[in-house]
Amino acid sequence: MKFEKAVPVQWIADFTGAKLIGNASQETTGINEIHKVTNGDISFVDFEKYYNACLTSAATVIIINKEVPCPDGKTLLVTADPFSAYIKIVKHFRPFEPAYEMISNSAVIGTGTHLQPGVFIGNHVRIGKNCLIHPNVTIYDHCVIGDNVIIHAGCVLGADAFYFKRRKDREVQYDKMESCGRVIIEDDVEIGAGTSIDKGVSGDTIIGRGTKLDNHIHIGHGAVIGKNCLFAAQVGIGGKAIIEDEVILWGQVGVSKDLTIGKGAVVLAQSGVPASLEGGKTYFGSPAVDAKTKMRELTWIKRIPEIWEKITSTDKE
Amino acid sequence: MKFEKAVPVQWIADFTGAKLIGNASQETTGINEIHKVTNGDISFVDFEKYYNACLTSAATVIIINKEVPCPDGKTLLVTADPFSAYIKIVKHFRPFEPAYEMISNSAVIGTGTHLQPGVFIGNHVRIGKNCLIHPNVTIYDHCVIGDNVIIHAGCVLGADAFYFKRRKDREVQYDKMESCGRVIIEDDVEIGAGTSIDKGVSGDTIIGRGTKLDNHIHIGHGAVIGKNCLFAAQVGIGGKAIIEDEVILWGQVGVSKDLTIGKGAVVLAQSGVPASLEGGKTYFGSPAVDAKTKMRELTWIKRIPEIWEKITSTDKE
Amino acid sequence: MKFEKAVPVQWIADFTGAKLIGNASQETTGINEIHKVTNGDISFVDFEKYYNACLTSAATVIIINKEVPCPDGKTLLVTADPFSAYIKIVKHFRPFEPAYEMISNSAVIGTGTHLQPGVFIGNHVRIGKNCLIHPNVTIYDHCVIGDNVIIHAGCVLGADAFYFKRRKDREVQYDKMESCGRVIIEDDVEIGAGTSIDKGVSGDTIIGRGTKLDNHIHIGHGAVIGKNCLFAAQVGIGGKAIIEDEVILWGQVGVSKDLTIGKGAVVLAQSGVPASLEGGKTYFGSPAVDAKTKMRELTWIKRIPEIWEKITSTDKE
């Protein structure tokens, strides 16, 4: 997320009660997770094993739970609980704004776009031209929708990321990560009934131009879906997965978070994708492997009794 | 889809800019895909391998992308892009009619039927007697619902078919097939929360009398579900699948398009059905096979280490 | 379900037309299925193999389809069709109350709780403090929601149990079990977009304190989910399953009805759980087994060709 205008790092330090180390005079322009961070951003780290990645990233300001040497030109904000400091900043700059009517006054809706009854459009939403939004769709605050987009009934765009920090020593163990990313739907996308697309934690969840999603699909926080993809019903995509252009996923395929499926890959129905897949190939199974390999495996399994017969008959000889 | 009144074939030729070959004076009574076509219908074909099936079908008028000999008594409409001509006709005779209120004035709702708040009923919908429609349900235009039907909250009936024609040479590759079929729910059906049933492309999606669907089920375009079926939660049924009477599908079962599951078949949870299944039997696995065969397979798999032990110990002898 | 005030057993006998045997003067305080029954309750049994379990249960009054010796102090109500008698009682004491506005007057909503537009709140619903209910959520009658609960758009809480009695000799074969249980959401729960939680048949469906549910999850009737659980998107839980505290289920996991998953168990994505699982372990596969065992199995399967090679090369020697 980018701030509307730059914020002095000293203000951030005061607001979070953190100890400032390093450059005290610079301005921050946004706040982001480590994988989305750009120059001017605040990021946070609370595990020693990620310290180095965060300190050497593009982040200008790093909220951290230990005093370490400050890289040149950067600023460290040292606090016992960087996660909570991060949440506090997000809540301040992207507060929840209650709605009291179905279509927010702050939404911008293009010409030729028709909203059927029962559609909820949150604050600061932008919708392009010639879209058709069917009944009982919910579009949360800050979503951005292009031109010629069709969204079928019951869809939910922009719900919170499913992202929690576990604190095992508490009675209520999961602390909610506040999400401040957006959902961006590019031109010519069609989204089937009852599909949900969550907003990113700090970056954006993106559905690329011309992609078509069937019913009951789940797209996790911060996933980036390419152009001209085709996902059949009940597909689930984990957070921050990257699906390149022209990927086809058949029904009920599940894709784990934090991986990449290469351009033009085809994944057959009910497959489970636990790790990145090369483009241009066809996959099957859970865990998904090359489809022909999987088919041969299934044939081999059927031959086990024959193998047993062979070795036990040899015994008898 | 049947037209409200017969349309001269010459009008269709002029409207689509197609070249008319054969009988120029007949009337057309509807438009349908090849598997649903009846006498009087227009159909279309754009792949040579399907030419024969279409030319010898019941269709009276065939939109085709090549001049071929016209079968006796039929009419050919020759045009470079039959798909687009078909779409143009569908959009003309079944245009999208925007709604501006939750319950359309053109809907017909039987006595004793209660609609809870937040229900959307589209144009030309017909609902029978003694039904109960729970909140935030969406029923698109032209759906037909029988008597004593219960529809739980958040369901979507009649959304568009997920059916696209790919044009790989374009920036936006998928052309949307406009659907003009209906959803028909017969008497005594119950539909669980958040279930979606898509309309057929040209024929109807049908849920047979007395069938019970659990939550989050997806029924694809033009599927025909028999009577007294029982589908557990999160089942997905592909387009134009035929599920005969008294079939039981347990949770998360996936069924591919264009196949038949025979009467009384039972498919165990999470199975995937890629091809037709005979009735009266129980199936398991993805791909689904006879359940006992699958169970034996699972047992054999566990014995592979034993087999390995046997052959390697033989080695040592 | 407990009645609002005690009801004489003789009134129940008259109302259902059953023959009363045993104690004719006692009062009934509620009606419940056999697994939920407590002292003062009515229960029913219509299969001989369950007679003993029901007669020796805590139930004070048993609706039964055969005259059997009445246990001391209990009352039997003998009728040809106990299921229908049970349904008649449930419908009388928990009738459907039509709603004519989005928020029922009889609902009680705590301070600091915000309902976004399009939310339906049924009769007798209780919602605690500082909750946030997003647009187009449906909460059926009698649901109880704690404090600090977040419910995302499109969720459905309290829809009917998917529970039917089959009567094969009828044209419409499935008789609906009327549900009278509730949905209870404890404090600090978050529920993702488009998730559905059905009410129990007679007992309550419970989501324990601090549990977080992702999108498109289905929780069946009467399931009891512990505290601090984490369920990823598209998980399905069958009726009356018991999931103990701190269980983690990854995406698209399916859990059968009537089983227990022990505290702290982790079930990997797309697994299917057909039977109870011990706590504290990690599981994978459909059917789910110990995850390491499953991984070894997958490795062994890949070695079948090697085994085949070994035994056939031995042949040649």
Tens digit of each residue's pLDDT (9 = 90 or more) over A107-158: 999 999 999 999 999 999 999 999 999 999 999 999 999 999 999 999 999 9
Please report the ipTM that was assigned to this predicted complex. Answer: 0.96
Residue B80 domain flag: yes
Structural domain count, chain B: 1
Both tokens of A189, joined, read: 């996308």
Interface test with C, best of A120, A123, A195, A292 (most C CBs within 10 A): A120
Residue B190 to residue C176, Cβ atoms within 8 A: yes
Task: Encode pLDDT of B112-153 as tens digits.
Answer: 999 999 999 999 999 999 999 999 999 999 999 999 999 999
Give yes or no for residue C317 having a pLDDT over 60.
no
Query: How far apart, in whole angstroms, are the C-alpha atoms of residue B156 and residue B149?
Result: 14
Nearest Cα residue to C254 out of B75, B308, B284, B34: B284
Q: What is the DSSP string of B69-123?
A: PPPTT-EEEE-S-HHHHHHHHHHHHS------SSB-TT-EE-TT-EEPTT-EE-T
Residue C301 domain flag: no
Report whether C42 contacts C31 (CB < 8 A). Answer: yes
Same domain, C171 and C27: no
Range of the domain at B72: 2-93
pLDDT at A137: 98
Same domain, C257 and C144: yes
pLDDT at A218: 98
Residue A230 to residue B274, Cβ atoms within 8 A: no
Sort out which chain B residues have CB atoms less than 8 A from A194's CB and list them.
154, 156, 194, 196, 216
- Residue where a domain stops, chosen among A58, A93, A128: A93
Question: What CATH number corresponds to the domain at position C73?
Answer: 3.40.1390.10
Same domain, C279 and C216: yes
Same domain, C184 and C84: no
Report whether B182 contacts B146 (CB < 8 A). Answer: no
Same domain, C208 and C252: yes
What band does B315 get if pLDDT is binned at 50, 70 and 90? low
Task: Encode pLDDT of C41-94 as tens digits.
Answer: 999 999 999 999 999 999 999 999 999 999 999 999 999 999 999 999 999 999
Q: Looking at the whole model, is its pTM more than 0.90?
A: yes
Sort out which chain C residues have CB atoms less than 8 A from A162's CB and list them.
192, 212, 214-215, 232-233
Tell me the shortest Cα–Cα distance from A96 to chain B, in angstroms: 24
pLDDT at C54: 95
Query: How far apart, in whole angstroms, are the C-alpha atoms of residue C148 and residue C129?
Result: 6
Same domain, C127 and C241: yes
Number of residues assigned to chain A: 317
Task: Encode pLDDT of A268-300 as tens digits.
Answer: 999 999 999 999 999 999 999 999 999 999 999
Query: How far apart, in whole angstroms, are the C-alpha atoms of residue B64 and residue B51?
Result: 8
- The mean pLDDT of A19-28, rounded to a whole number, is 96
Residue B154 to residue C194, Cβ atoms within 8 A: yes
What band does A314 get if pLDDT is binned at 50, 70 and 90? low
Mean model confidence pLDDT for chain B = 96
Give yes or no for residue B185 having a pLDDT over 90.
yes
Task: Encode pLDDT of B272-290 as tens digits.
Answer: 999 999 999 999 999 999 9
Of B117, B270, B311, the CB nearest to C307: B311
- Residue where a domain stops, chosen among C61, C93, C125: C93
Same domain, C117 and C9: no
Residue C310 domain flag: no
Tell me the shortest Cα–Cα distance from B272 to chain C, in angstroms: 12
Same domain, C41 and C169: no
In the chain, the amino acid numbered B169 is: D
Task: Encode pLDDT of C37-47 as tens digits.
Answer: 999 999 999 99
Residue A300 domain flag: no
Task: Encode pLDDT of B6-23 as tens digits.
Answer: 999 999 999 999 999 999
pLDDT at C316: 57
CB atoms within 10 A of CB C100: 9
Task: Encode pLDDT of B198-256 as tens digits.
Answer: 999 999 999 999 999 999 999 999 999 999 999 999 999 999 999 999 999 999 999 99
Residue C304 domain flag: no
Residue C162 to residue B298, Cβ atoms within 8 A: no
Question: What CATH number corresponds to the domain at position A268?
Answer: 2.160.10.10
Same domain, A262 and A178: yes
What band does B313 get if pLDDT is binned at 50, 70 and 90? confident
Annotated active-site positions of C, please? 221
Same domain, A81 and A166: no
What band does B265 get if pLDDT is binned at 50, 70 and 90? very high
Tell me the shortest Cα–Cα distance from A300 to chain C, in angstroms: 7
pLDDT at B245: 98
Query: How far apart, in whole angstroms, are the C-alpha atoms of residue B133 and residue B153?
Result: 8
Give yes or no for residue A35 having a pLDDT over 90.
no
Residue C162 to residue B233, Cβ atoms within 8 A: yes
Same domain, A237 and A274: yes
Q: What is the DSSP string of A96-148?
A: -----SSB-TT-EE-TT-EE-TT-EE-TT-EE-SS-EE-TT-EE-TT-EE-SS
What band does B314 get if pLDDT is binned at 50, 70 and 90? low
Residue C218 to residue B233, Cβ atoms within 8 A: yes
Residue B23 domain flag: yes
- Residue where a domain stops, chosen among A93, A126, A154: A93
Sort out which chain A residues have CB atoms less than 8 A from B196's CB and list them.
154, 192-194, 215-216
Same domain, A261 and A186: yes
Sort out which chain C residues have CB atoms less than 8 A from A171's CB and list them.
209-210
Residue A305 domain flag: no
Query: How far apart, in whole angstroms, are the C-alpha atoms of residue A187 and residue B252?
Result: 32
Sort out which chain C residues have CB atoms less than 8 A from B153's CB and list them.
120, 138, 140, 156, 159
